[in-house]
Chains A and B, each alone.
Chain A
Amino acid sequence: QVQLQESGPGLVKPSETLSLTCTVSGGSVSDYHWSWIRQPAGKGLEWIGRLYTSGTISYNPSLKSRVTMSVDTSKNQFSLKLTSVTAADTADYYCARESTSFRYFDSWGQGTLVTVSS
């Protein structure tokens, strides 16, 4: 049973860079596609982007200019960087695995709250 765990600072200052890591256990990060999804408090889900270890990466156009995703196969982790953050980036951030068939999110991390505040 694959498990995902997000980690990173819970507080980021405005204009700085948000950095999160998702550690995958019980499976290999070299398989599947891996996504980041966020959810502001009391609001809906927003897909941030997806990567595959082949190098294929896709970002949400609404965030594309500020987002970078990468993978570290030696640590079985993948990461998210979001630059120039504002209060609007305050949210729960989830990492998730996307199946290769019908491309549903079948495993999720528990989520980590990132607050943007000075």
Chain B
Amino acid sequence: DIQMTQSPSSLSASVGDRVTITCRASQSISSYLNWYQQKPGKAPNLLIYAASTLSGVPSRFSGSASGTDFTLTISSLQPEDSATYYCQQSYSTPRTFGQGTKVEIK
């Protein structure tokens, strides 16, 4: 199985801050990396697919890749961005997710 290691597990930042979440794959997954946002009591919602393609979300979200390292960036944190974020590889089965990063607003 491909292991996805996400960091940090949680963070607290102020409105307007730039926030970065990292996800590292245990082997090459090309660009088969997706990001999801999950709010309490809700299903995950697709944010970014193919490492850097936005899925109808605000442009303050962006994704990038470097080898097996992937990054989700929120350029200017907004109150509604308080959520848990997950990366997920779709290179092979079993599909695997990172352990999640909980983003809180100070």
Contacts and interface: CB of A to CB of B under 8 A. Distances in A.
A105 B97 contact: no
The number of chain B residues touching the other chain, given as a range, is 20 to 34
Q: State the main secondary structure of chain B at its contact with A.
A: loop
Interface in A55-72: 58-62
B99 interface: yes
Contacts, number: 63
The number of chain A residues touching the other chain, given as a range, is 20 to 34
Interface in A103-118: 103-106, 108-111
B32 to A, nearest CB: 6
A106 B55 contact: yes
Interface string B25-68: 00000011010100000111110011001010000000000000
Contacts of A44: 86, 97-100
A110 B38 CA distance: 12
B80 interface: no
A94 B55 contact: no
Given A35-B95, A110-B43, A111-B43, A102 B90 contact: yes
Centre residue among B42, B55, B88 by max chain A CB count within 10 A: B88
B7 interface: no
Interface of A: 35, 44-47, 50, 58-62, 94, 96, 98-99, 102-106, 108-111
9 shortest A-B CB distances, which residue pairs? A103-B90, A108-B43, A104-B49, A47-B95, A104-B34, A60-B94, A102-B50, A45-B97, A58-B93
15 contacts: A44-B86, A44-B98, A45-B44, A45-B86, A45-B88, A58-B93, A62-B94, A96-B43, A102-B50, A102-B90, A103-B90, A104-B50, A105-B34, A106-B46, A108-B45
Interface of B: 1, 31-32, 34, 36, 42-46, 49-50, 53, 55, 86, 88, 90, 93-100
